[in-house]
Amino acid sequence: MTESVEQMIDRLCAKIPDHPKPGVLFRDLTPLFADGDGFKRTVDALTDAFRGQYDCVAGVEARGFMIAAAVAYASGVGIVPVRKKGKLPRETISQQYNLEYGTETLEIHTDDVPRGSRVLVLDDVLATGGTLGASASLLTRAGFNVAGFGVIMELTALRGRAQLGGHRVRALLRV
Protein backbone atom coordinates (compact mmCIF):
# COMPACT_ATOMS: atom_id res chain seq x y z
CA MET A 1 0.00 0.00 0.00
CA THR A 2 1.25 3.47 -0.90
CA GLU A 3 1.87 5.87 1.96
CA SER A 4 -0.61 8.77 1.98
CA VAL A 5 0.57 12.39 2.08
CA GLU A 6 -0.76 12.62 5.64
CA GLN A 7 1.19 9.53 6.72
CA MET A 8 4.32 10.78 4.99
CA ILE A 9 4.15 14.20 6.68
CA ASP A 10 3.60 12.58 10.07
CA ARG A 11 6.52 10.19 9.50
CA LEU A 12 8.91 12.96 8.39
CA CYS A 13 7.87 15.43 11.09
CA ALA A 14 10.27 15.35 14.03
CA LYS A 15 8.45 15.34 17.36
CA ILE A 16 10.33 17.03 20.19
CA PRO A 17 8.77 16.62 23.66
CA ASP A 18 8.89 19.48 26.17
CA HIS A 19 9.95 22.13 23.66
CA PRO A 20 9.82 25.08 24.04
CA LYS A 21 8.44 24.35 27.51
CA PRO A 22 7.43 21.30 29.54
CA GLY A 23 4.25 19.61 28.35
CA VAL A 24 4.51 20.87 24.76
CA LEU A 25 5.13 18.44 21.90
CA PHE A 26 6.87 20.53 19.23
CA ARG A 27 6.41 19.32 15.67
CA ASP A 28 9.38 20.23 13.49
CA LEU A 29 8.73 20.15 9.74
CA THR A 30 12.32 20.80 8.66
CA PRO A 31 12.97 17.08 7.99
CA LEU A 32 10.03 17.20 5.55
CA PHE A 33 11.55 20.21 3.78
CA ALA A 34 14.88 18.36 3.57
CA ASP A 35 13.35 15.25 1.98
CA GLY A 36 13.14 15.81 -1.79
CA ASP A 37 10.31 13.37 -2.46
CA GLY A 38 8.42 14.39 0.66
CA PHE A 39 8.65 18.10 -0.15
CA LYS A 40 7.58 17.47 -3.76
CA ARG A 41 4.55 15.44 -2.67
CA THR A 42 3.62 18.15 -0.17
CA VAL A 43 3.87 20.91 -2.78
CA ASP A 44 1.91 18.84 -5.29
CA ALA A 45 -0.85 18.20 -2.74
CA LEU A 46 -1.20 21.91 -1.92
CA THR A 47 -1.09 22.87 -5.59
CA ASP A 48 -3.71 20.29 -6.55
CA ALA A 49 -6.05 21.27 -3.70
CA PHE A 50 -6.54 24.76 -5.15
CA ARG A 51 -5.73 24.29 -8.85
CA GLY A 52 -7.37 26.97 -11.00
CA GLN A 53 -8.62 28.93 -7.98
CA TYR A 54 -5.80 31.48 -7.59
CA ASP A 55 -3.82 34.00 -9.62
CA CYS A 56 -0.86 34.22 -7.23
CA VAL A 57 0.25 32.92 -3.86
CA ALA A 58 1.18 34.71 -0.66
CA GLY A 59 3.91 33.22 1.50
CA VAL A 60 3.91 34.13 5.17
CA GLU A 61 7.32 34.81 6.70
CA ALA A 62 9.38 32.69 7.01
CA ARG A 63 8.66 29.03 6.29
CA GLY A 64 5.68 30.05 4.18
CA PHE A 65 8.15 31.55 1.70
CA MET A 66 9.57 28.11 0.87
CA ILE A 67 6.14 26.61 0.35
CA ALA A 68 4.84 29.58 -1.64
CA ALA A 69 7.87 29.63 -3.93
CA ALA A 70 7.47 25.96 -4.77
CA VAL A 71 3.68 26.18 -5.30
CA ALA A 72 4.09 29.33 -7.41
CA TYR A 73 6.70 27.62 -9.57
CA ALA A 74 4.54 24.50 -9.98
CA SER A 75 1.55 26.67 -10.90
CA GLY A 76 3.29 29.24 -13.06
CA VAL A 77 2.11 32.16 -10.89
CA GLY A 78 3.81 34.87 -8.83
CA ILE A 79 4.29 35.44 -5.12
CA VAL A 80 3.24 38.17 -2.71
CA PRO A 81 5.58 38.02 0.30
CA VAL A 82 3.88 38.71 3.65
CA ARG A 83 6.74 40.09 5.75
CA LYS A 84 7.35 41.28 9.25
CA LYS A 85 7.38 45.05 9.70
CA GLY A 86 10.32 46.91 8.20
CA LYS A 87 11.51 44.18 5.81
CA LEU A 88 9.99 45.46 2.55
CA PRO A 89 11.78 48.36 0.80
CA ARG A 90 8.91 50.16 -0.94
CA GLU A 91 5.56 51.54 0.16
CA THR A 92 3.59 49.01 2.19
CA ILE A 93 0.40 48.58 4.13
CA SER A 94 0.47 47.03 7.57
CA GLN A 95 -1.69 44.83 9.79
CA GLN A 96 -1.09 44.46 13.49
CA TYR A 97 -2.24 41.35 15.35
CA ASN A 98 -2.05 39.98 18.86
CA LEU A 99 0.38 37.39 20.13
CA GLU A 100 0.28 35.62 23.48
CA TYR A 101 2.58 38.26 25.00
CA GLY A 102 2.35 41.33 22.77
CA THR A 103 1.71 42.26 19.18
CA GLU A 104 3.32 41.75 15.78
CA THR A 105 2.92 43.59 12.49
CA LEU A 106 2.84 42.15 8.97
CA GLU A 107 3.30 44.13 5.76
CA ILE A 108 2.91 43.72 2.01
CA HIS A 109 3.59 45.80 -1.06
CA THR A 110 0.30 46.73 -2.69
CA ASP A 111 1.48 47.10 -6.28
CA ASP A 112 3.22 43.82 -7.12
CA VAL A 113 0.11 42.10 -8.53
CA PRO A 114 -3.14 43.61 -9.86
CA ARG A 115 -5.89 44.51 -7.40
CA GLY A 116 -8.66 41.93 -7.49
CA SER A 117 -6.19 39.07 -7.89
CA ARG A 118 -7.16 35.80 -6.22
CA VAL A 119 -4.45 35.07 -3.66
CA LEU A 120 -3.82 31.68 -2.08
CA VAL A 121 -2.22 32.15 1.36
CA LEU A 122 0.37 29.50 2.28
CA ASP A 123 2.20 28.72 5.50
CA ASP A 124 3.61 25.70 7.28
CA VAL A 125 1.36 25.46 10.36
CA LEU A 126 -2.09 26.70 11.32
CA ALA A 127 -2.10 27.08 15.10
CA THR A 128 -4.12 29.90 16.70
CA GLY A 129 -4.83 31.53 13.34
CA GLY A 130 -3.44 34.92 14.34
CA THR A 131 -0.80 35.19 11.62
CA LEU A 132 -2.97 33.77 8.85
CA GLY A 133 -5.98 35.85 9.93
CA ALA A 134 -3.85 39.00 9.90
CA SER A 135 -2.51 38.03 6.47
CA ALA A 136 -6.06 37.69 5.13
CA SER A 137 -7.07 41.07 6.56
CA LEU A 138 -3.99 42.67 5.06
CA LEU A 139 -4.55 41.16 1.61
CA THR A 140 -8.23 42.13 1.65
CA ARG A 141 -7.42 45.71 2.65
CA ALA A 142 -4.93 45.85 -0.24
CA GLY A 143 -7.70 44.97 -2.70
CA PHE A 144 -6.98 41.27 -3.20
CA ASN A 145 -9.39 38.35 -2.88
CA VAL A 146 -8.32 35.57 -0.52
CA ALA A 147 -8.75 32.31 -2.47
CA GLY A 148 -8.10 30.17 0.60
CA PHE A 149 -5.41 28.94 2.94
CA GLY A 150 -3.06 26.02 2.44
CA VAL A 151 -0.96 24.66 5.30
CA ILE A 152 1.05 21.53 5.84
CA MET A 153 -0.14 20.97 9.41
CA GLU A 154 -3.05 22.17 11.51
CA LEU A 155 -2.96 21.99 15.30
CA THR A 156 -6.71 21.46 15.73
CA ALA A 157 -6.85 21.95 19.52
CA LEU A 158 -5.89 25.61 19.04
CA ARG A 159 -8.95 26.25 16.82
CA GLY A 160 -7.17 28.53 14.35
CA ARG A 161 -9.76 28.00 11.61
CA ALA A 162 -12.15 30.19 13.59
CA GLN A 163 -9.85 33.17 12.89
CA LEU A 164 -9.95 32.71 9.11
CA GLY A 165 -13.31 34.24 8.30
CA GLY A 166 -14.89 31.14 6.79
CA HIS A 167 -12.36 30.92 3.97
CA ARG A 168 -11.50 27.50 2.61
CA VAL A 169 -8.63 25.85 4.49
CA ARG A 170 -6.69 22.83 3.28
CA ALA A 171 -4.46 21.30 5.93
CA LEU A 172 -2.53 18.26 4.68
CA LEU A 173 -2.21 16.87 8.23
CA ARG A 174 -4.51 17.69 11.14
CA VAL A 175 -3.21 16.82 14.62
Helices and strands (DSSP H and E) totals, the chain = 5, 9
Q: Which of 6, 27, 61, 63 is catalytic?
A: 63
* Partner residues linked to 122 by β-bridges: 59, 150
**Which among 3, 41, 61, 100 is annotated as catalytic?**
100
Residue 159 known to be catalytic: no
Q: Which helix (H) or strand (E) holds 153?
A: strand 145-154
Burial, 87: exposed, middle or buried (Cβ in 10 Å; 0-12, 13-18, 19+)?
A: exposed
Q: Is 118 a catalytic residue?
A: no
What is the rounded CA–CA span in Å between residue 7 and residue 13? Answer: 10
CA distance 63 to 2: 28
Phi, psi values for residue 46, rounded to 5°: -70, -40
CA angle 61, 63, 65 (to 5 degrees): 65
Catalytic annotation, residues: 63, 100
